[in-house]
């Protein structure tokens, strides 16, 4: 392995000069700069990163702590982190799939001395304490939970608002029984989305009678199972709100297998707005979440927090969650795409919901509130 000494010898200078020359820094003679560069190129010198960070106590690396990088959503978050870090020429030391907080702590420990700071995504409660401990070692920015650790900045999604808006929209469409397929227990995002759903129902004066929750796990398979359970009930809901898109996909699949028309007999909505959502059949009404932005903003927050260490206090950003209205919930003007057919009433054999509000899409859209209309406009601007 070639070290700085070899380069110094080759160029006929001291190692200090090599260091200065190669780091583009201050006063170095043009001639020696040339010689050093040539020597380094000739020997194919690759500076040792560990040694550099040991002396300079800067690593130019960000640690990333993730629960489990599964599927499209996480992959987008990481992309956001990666791209933004790359703009600052930072590298990423990633550790994921943390079953418990102990392994998370252990990972952070071994990162010590190799990172300048950390971005942590800890979607379950109880990891707060561990993160607080990590934050004593280096600056940490959190993704997801709202503001739990003192001194840490954070980015999160407007889960409650998004879920509430979706629920309100379904109510506007005339749905009176709206089931929710929840995310995994203890997951902060899942909890917040459930809360938004409940709050919207309460605000509309519809209590526990209209609500009905089913347990899911953020996977297609769990959505499929939940749909089967829903169909076994005597009184079916006219709408199902899944806490994420993956589960909504499973639900759509189950309803198709059972011959239940969507949105005719049952409306289905999701959360996340994955890339495939608009290509599903029917295209999925969902809540758009800027997964890329989640990662990107986290890194930006870290950078500003670090540059102004001590001066500024922690910041907490909440990324908006906007409704994206597509065909799976009905209510879009008929004929926009593939008119007729799926809009029909269908042989709704089971318990029809009292007021018969769930009919033609165009009519229902007219009833939509101004807020919803704005959401539609926004969503159309988005894509």
**263-282 positions binding a second copy, by CB under 8 A:** 275-276, 278-281
Place of tokens 């700085």: 4
Residue 89 in contact with DNA, rule: CB under 7 A: no
Residue 94 touches which member of DNA, a second copy, none, C-beta under 5-8 Å by kind: a second copy
- If we measure between CA atoms, which residue out of 223, 314, 201, 322 comes closest to residue 268? 223
β-bridge mates for residue 376, sequence order: none
Over the window 279 to 308, marking each residue x when it contacts DNA by CB under 7 A and - when it does not, the resulting string is: ------------------------------
Dist CA 126 CA 217 (whole Å) = 19
Dist CA 269 CA 284 (whole Å) = 6
Residue 231 touches which member of DNA, a second copy, none, C-beta under 5-8 Å by kind: none
**322-341 positions binding a second copy, by CB under 8 A:** 337-338
- Burial readout 281-293 (b: 16 or more C-beta within 10 A, e: otherwise): ebbbbbbbbbbbb
Dist CA 178 CA 45 (whole Å) = 65
**36-65 positions binding DNA, by CB under 7 A:** 45-48, 51-52, 54-57
Over the window 208 to 247, marking each residue x when it contacts a second copy by CB under 8 A and - when it does not, the resulting string is: ------------x---x-----------------------
Residue 257 touches which member of DNA, a second copy, none, C-beta under 5-8 Å by kind: a second copy
Over the window 99 to 128, marking each residue x when it contacts DNA by CB under 7 A and - when it does not, the resulting string is: --------------x---------------
Using CB under 8 A, pick the residue from 6, 72, 228, 229 that binds a second copy.
Answer: 72
Residue 280 touches which member of DNA, a second copy, none, C-beta under 5-8 Å by kind: a second copy
The phi and psi torsions of 22 (rounded to 5 degrees) equal -75, -25
Question: How many residues form the binding site for a second copy (CB under 8 A)?
Answer: 60
- In whole angstroms, how close is the CB of 285 to a second copy at the nearest point? 16
Dist CA 140 CA 131 (whole Å) = 8
Residues at the site binding DNA, with contacts judged by CB under 7 A: 1, 3-5, 12-17, 19-20, 22-23, 25-29, 31-33, 45-48, 51-52, 54-57, 113
Residues at the site binding a second copy, with contacts judged by CB under 8 A: 1, 44, 46-54, 59-61, 69-72, 74-75, 78-79, 82-83, 86, 91-97, 107, 109-114, 133, 136-137, 220, 224, 249-250, 252-253, 256-257, 259, 275-276, 278-281, 283, 337-338
């Amino acid at each position: 392995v070639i070290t700085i000494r070899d380069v110094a010898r080759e160029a006929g200078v001291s190692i200090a000069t090599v260091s200065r020359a190669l780091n583009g820094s201050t006063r170095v003679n043009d001639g020696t700069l040339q010689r050093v560069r040539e020597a380094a190129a000739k020997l194919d010198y690759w500076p040792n990163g560990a040694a550099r960070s040991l002396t300079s106590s800067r690593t130019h690396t960000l640690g990333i702590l993730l629960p489990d990088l599964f599927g499209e959503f996480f992959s987008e978050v990481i992309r956001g982190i990666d791209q933004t870090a790359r703009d600052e020429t930072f590298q990423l030391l990633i550790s994921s799939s943390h079953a418990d907080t102990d392994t998370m702590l252990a990972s952070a420990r071994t990162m010590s001395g190799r990172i300048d700071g950390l971005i942590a995504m800890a979607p379950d409660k109880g990891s707060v304490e561990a993160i607080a401990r990590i934050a004593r070692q280096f600056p940490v920015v959190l993704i997801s939970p709202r503001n739990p650790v003192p001194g840490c900045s954070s980015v999160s999604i407007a889960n409650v608002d998004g879920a509430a808006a979706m629920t309100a929209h379904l109510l506007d469409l005339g749905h009176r029984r709206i089931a929710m397929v929840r995310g995994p227990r203890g997951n902060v995002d899942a909890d917040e989305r459930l809360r938004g759903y409940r709050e919207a129902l309460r605000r509309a004066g519809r209590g526990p009678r209209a609500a009905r929750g089913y347990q899911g796990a953020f996977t297609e398979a769990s959505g499929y199972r939940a749909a089967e359970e829903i169909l076994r009930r005597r009184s079916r809901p006219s709408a199902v709100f899944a806490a994420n898109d993956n589960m909504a996909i499973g639900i759509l699949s189950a309803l198709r297998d059972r011959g239940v028309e969507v949105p005719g007999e049952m409306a289905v909505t999701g959360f996340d707005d994955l890339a495939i959502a608009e290509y599903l059949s029917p295209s999925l009404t969902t809540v758009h979440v800027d997964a890329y932005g989640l990662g990107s903003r986290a890194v930006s927050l870290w950078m500003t927090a670090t540059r102004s260490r001590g001066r500024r206090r922690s910041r907490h950003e909440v990324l908006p969650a906007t409704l994206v209205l597509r065909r799976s919930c009905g209510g879009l003007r008929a004929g926009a795409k593939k008119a007729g057919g799926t809009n029909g009433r269908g042989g709704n054999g089971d318990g029809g919901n009292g007021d018969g509000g769930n009919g033609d899409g165009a009519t229902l859209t007219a009833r939509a509130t101004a807020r919803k209309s704005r959401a539609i406009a926004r969503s159309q601007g988005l894509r």
